[in-house]
Structure 1
Amino acid sequence: MTKIWQGISEFTAVAETNSFTHAAQQLGISVAQVSRNISELEARLDIKLLYRSTRKVSLTEEGALYLQHCRNLVSSLDEANRSITNLKLTPRGLIKITAPVYYGENHLAPLLNQFLLAYPEVELDLQLTNNKLDLIQGSFDLAIRLGQLESSSLIARRLSSRTQHIVAAPSYLKKYGEPQSPAELSQHQCLLGSVDTWRILNAQGKPISFKPHGRLRCNSGPTLLNAALCGLGLAQLPDYYVKAAIRSGDLRMLLEDYRLPDDGIWAVYPQNRHLSAKVRHLVEFLVERL
């Protein structure tokens, strides 16, 4: 099995440096060993990969094709080695994170402060925004995303879950009555957020999108919460906005039989970016505490 790999690193290094000498220096072995391992590789494949002369090294047509695959193999092997090495490392260095504003301020930031206390060699750059920033373009190590994830090339790790509640103040319900089914929502004033629809179940238990209407629209959850508390209408908000008001009786949950199953709170990161020790430790830290 070992011989299958023998010569691949040497061939890739020679192809990329156009020099047996430079390849040997890069790999920390002798020129003779580089040459011998590549010759054995060519013999196993029964194909000539390199043209050799005293002045020049160049790829054959078959060698150019083989190089494309070898680069991926060498890169994957390097990544595997780094992964194992990072298991032993103490988190250190800068971690750049983006997260939604309210959730970041009230739930994420306190935990990040604890993480900084636990790991003195870590630095954090936390950018709070409700816009979904491009992680690659912004050089972010990690993003915190809420709810249903869009299809993308990002890798996601579930940190926790959230429940979406439809709520209203007792004063509103006393004046306008309580909806008994999703069909009755159209008869009520609804407080509109940044999305145009509410996701609920219909009478048959199937997910549907309801388009609410009302006098107030705002992309701020706390503003919608305050409006609901004032009795201005119904709001659909995550549990971390409304749980205290529900506990105190200032808000009542509505249509709970038609509520969708909980959705996720996620840590996402680019799939082509190695999850370093510092980021891996942070993700595990958040999973444990959220």
Structure 2
Amino acid sequence: MGSWDGIDSFIAVCETESFSAAATRLGVSTSHVSREVARLEDRLQVRLLYRTTRRVSVTDAGRTFLERCRRLVEEREEAFATVSESDGAARGHLRLTCSIAYGERFIVPLVNRFLLTHPQLSVTIDLTNRLTDLVGEGFDLAVRTGTSLDDSRLIAVRLASRRRYLCAAPAYLERHGPPGSLDDLARHQCLMGTADLWHFEDQGRQVSFRPGGSWRCNSGFAVLDAARQGLGLCQLPDFYVETELATGTLVSLLDHHRPPDEGIWAVYPHRRHLSPKVSLLVEYLKSHVGRL
């Protein structure tokens, strides 16, 4: 058994909490992962994982060993990257994730243009509105929106900002009148998307409102269409509603309560050596996203 045998499998199982998920991540069979971890435990003469029919958890000894293994693997990958990418070219395979609507409209087209000038790079793009675990699921990079980053394992680079608008169609406002205050929102029909709360600013304070109504869909473009049809109020990021606001199809409301702009971030796992495939794409996105 080689010095590295079983370590990658052990880390993958710990981070995914599943032998089958670890196997998928590594591109091998579940039985292969199970055998490698078992052999590693035999070699160390210590139990690293608790196994039940429902879940896998890490023992105290396994947790200590895991942190050492992570540092070893990071240093190994840095050593490989330093040699194989010494010319600074983007090459290899990159896994990227982003929200569906923003990714389809902006990020994927930019990545496609980036690939035209970096033919040695291949990419897998996972568009999902689920908050992915970049480290546990093996992603190199994510594009996310928000105001803070709470995971110490990650680094975030601000690409641009986006603004959120509360708006409605003129036809709806003719029937119901515009809201005069944040408290007035409770009497209006609200078109609900994936967000459970709408955010505003009131006298310098950040406040939230829980919208209520008879309409909900997990697609921002569907929310936009319902608003255009005059079914209610919506709060959506700028890229959904800019055209409608410019043409008068929608009307912006309570602008003095508009929340602070959200950051758009490139987020990647913390490594001392950042590979060219990630660093070059981050710089490309940084120089182009703000112009969209």
Could you tell me which residue of structure 1 aligns to residue 8 of structure 2? none
> Structure 1's 214 and 78: CA in aligned 2 closer, same or farther, altered over 3 A?
closer
- For the residue of structure 2 that corresponds to 1:160, the secondary structure is strand
User: CA contact under 8 A between 2:162 and 2:237: conserved in structure 1?
Assistant: yes
Following the alignment from structure 2 to structure 1, what is the Cα–Cα distance between the partners of residues 134 and 77? 23
Compared CA separation, residues 87 and 147, structure 1 to 2 (3 A): farther
Deviation at 1:272, TM superposition (A): 4.1
Deviations 1:166-186 (A, max 9, x none): 010010011111112211111
Q: Give the corresponding residue for 1:134.
A: 133
The answer to whether the 8 Å contact 2:198/2:210 transfers is yes
Separation in 2 of the partners of 1:110 and 1:276? 22
Change (3 A) 1:121 1:85: closer
Distance in 1 (CA, whole Å) between partners of 2:209 and 2:257 is 12
C-alpha distance in structure 2 between counterparts of 1:216 and 1:87, whole Å:
54
Any idea what the Cα deviations from partners look like across 1:250-287, whole Å, max 9, x if unmatched?
00111111111111111111114742011100000000
Asked whether the 8 Å contact 2:201–2:260 carries over to 1, the reply is no
Q: What is residue 200 of structure 2 aligned with on the other side? A: 200
Give the aligned residue type for 1:258: H
Q: Name structure 2 gaps, 5 residues minimum.
A: 4-66
CA–CA distance in 2 between the matches of 1:125 and 1:227?
A: 33
Deviates more, 1:186-195 or 1:165-174: 186-195
Residue 93 to residue 185, structure 1, CA distance change in 2 (3 Å): same
Bigger Rg, which one: 1
CA distance in 1, matches of 2:86, 2:183: 54
Change (3 A) 1:245 1:137: same
User: 2:214 aligns to what?
Assistant: 215
Distance in 1 of aligned mates of 2:168 and 2:117: 41
Verify the 8 A CA contact 2:110 2:285 in the aligned structure 1. Answer: yes
Once residues 252 and 160 of structure 2 are traced to their aligned partners in structure 1, the CA distance between those partners, rounded to angstroms, is 21
Q: Which residue of 1 aligns with 2:113?
A: 114
1:233 deviates by 0.4
Question: Mapping of 1:121-270 within 5 angstroms?
Answer: 121-153=120-152, 154-202=154-202, 204-270=203-269
Specify the SS of the correspondent of 2:160. Answer: strand
Structure 1 vs Structure 2: percent identity of aligned residues?
Answer: 45
Alpha-carbon shift at residue 232 of structure 1 (Å): 0.5
Q: In structure 2, the residue corresponding to 1:131 is in which secondary structure?
A: coil
Does the CA contact (< 8 Å) of 1:96 and 1:125 recur in 2? yes
SS of 1:152's equivalent?
coil
Moved more, 98-107 or 272-281: 272-281
1:167-209 residue CA offsets vs partner (Å, 9 max, x unmatched): 100100111111122111112111112222111012x231111
CA distance in structure 1 between the partners assigned to 2:140 and 2:209 by the alignment: 36
Matched residue SS, 1:266: strand
Is the 1:160–1:265 Cα contact (8 Å) retained in structure 2?
Answer: yes
Query: Per-residue deviation at 1:236?
Result: 0.4
Q: Distance in 2 between matches of 1:87 and 1:262?
A: 39
272-281 vs 216-225, greater mean Cα deviation: 272-281
Query: 1:180 corresponds to which letter in structure 2?
Result: G
Q: Give the match's secondary structure for 1:214.
A: coil
Q: Separation in 2 of the partners of 1:207 and 1:87? A: 47
Deviation of 1:81 after TM superposition, in Å, equals 10
The ranges of structure 1 where at least 4 consecutive aligned residues each deviate by more than 4 angstroms after the TM superposition are 75-87
In 2, the alpha carbon distance for the partners of 1:123 and 1:263 equals 30
Output one character per residue of 1:119-177: Cα deviation in whole Å (capped at 9) or x when no partner: 11111100111111221222110111112345112111111111010010010011111
1:87–1:277 CA contact under 8 A, matched in 2: no
Distance 1:85 1:125, change over 3 A: closer
Does structure 2 conserve the Cα–Cα contact (< 8 Å) formed by 1:205 and 1:258? no
Secondary structure of the 1:207 match is strand
